[in-house]
């Protein structure tokens, strides 16, 4: 059984304050500013949240590592619950800077300038939840993520770029399941999966399958471009622009009522 260090031992200064929220507020005050922090009631040393003045941002989650002295943040957009910023640091003052910027509605790129440990996921904010823009944002995230991966993920990066270069796929909402590239005609939170699955096995081995497990193979390919072309041939005709997954859920509720 894995045992973790006592949080009081890892974070004696936080324990003295009584909660991560109080320690974060104190760090902000030392920096000459203030942050409205809410401490977790179930795990006060482990978690805290900071609300944003922007309605399309969820509260920033600040968490303490259970293994070593380190704090992580995650800031999500409110419609799909997808991360806009993430990051980890051993400097609580930097966390306070990021929390202040998130709360005040500072642009994502400027949050990173205020607190360099912040990682931008590639997604951009879509306040009106326009599904086409959300699709563009998700593609940008996927390309950003793939570009940061090191070997042996070169084939996956090539697959994402090849799919993005194909208009028929770029117009669909992309997502992954166990690193298998898939597509939907609706955004989250309710996906309408369409077309085959694309898997990068190696730099010269790609699989186009009817299932994300790869058990029903449609085609094998030696390049990402060949795999994408095979996937496009399997798409149903008449696909229109991506629509909202929230509207899909609403329509399903109406039909079932």
Q: Is the pLDDT of residue 151 over 50?
A: yes
- 10 Å CB burial of residue 53 (0-12, 13-18, 19+) is exposed
pTM: 0.91
Q: In this predicted model, what pLDDT tens digit does every residue of 42-80 receive, in sequence order?
A: 999 999 999 999 999 999 999 999 999 999 999 999 999
Q: Is the pLDDT of residue 202 over 90?
A: no
What pLDDT is attached to residue 254?
Answer: 45
Candidate ranges 109-113, 147-151, 177-181, 244-248; pick with highest mean pLDDT: 109-113
Please identify which residue in the block is written with the tokens 């992954």: 176
| 27 vs 152, more confident | 27
Residues whose CB falls within 8 Å of the CB of residue 69, separated by 6 or more in sequence, listed in order: 10, 11, 90
DSSP 59: P
Q: Is the pLDDT of residue 255 over 70?
A: no
DSSP states of 209-247: ESSTTS-SEEEEESSHHHHHHHHHHTSPS---S-B-HHH
Determine the Cα angle at 110 with ends 86 and 124, to 5°.
60
The pLDDT-based confidence of 28 (bands split at 50, 70, 90) is very high
């Amino acid at each position: 059984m894995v045992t973790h260090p006592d949080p009081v031992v890892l974070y004696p200064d936080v324990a003295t304050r009584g909660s991560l929220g109080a320690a974060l507020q104190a760090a902000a005050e030392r920096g000459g500013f203030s942050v409205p922090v809410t401490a977790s009631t179930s795990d006060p040393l482990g978690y805290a949240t900071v609300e944003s003045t922007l309605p399309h941002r969820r509260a920033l989650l600040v968490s303490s590592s259970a293994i070593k002295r380190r704090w992580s943040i995650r800031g999500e957009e409110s419609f799909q619950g997808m991360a806009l910023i993430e990051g980890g640091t051993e400097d609580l003052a930097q966390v306070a800077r990021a929390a202040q910027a998130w709360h005040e509605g500072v642009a994502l790129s400027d949050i990173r300038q205020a607190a360099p440990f912040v990682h931008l996921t590639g997604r951009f904010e879509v306040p009106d939840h326009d599904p086409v823009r959300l699709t563009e944002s998700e593609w940008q995230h996927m390309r950003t993520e793939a570009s940061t991966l090191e070997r042996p993920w070169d084939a996956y990066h090539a697959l994402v770029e090849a799919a993005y270069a194909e208009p028929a796929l770029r117009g669909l909402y992309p997502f992954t399941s166990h690193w298998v590239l898939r597509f939907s005609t609706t955004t989250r939170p309710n996906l309408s999966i369409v077309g085959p699955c694309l898997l990068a096995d190696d730099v010269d081995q790609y699989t186009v399958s009817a299932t994300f497990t790869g058990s029903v193979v449609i085609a094998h390919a030696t390049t990402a471009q060949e795999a994408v072309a095979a996937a496009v041939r399997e798409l149903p005709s008449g696909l229109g622009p991506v629509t909202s997954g929230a509207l899909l859920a609403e329509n399903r509720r109406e039909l079932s009522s």
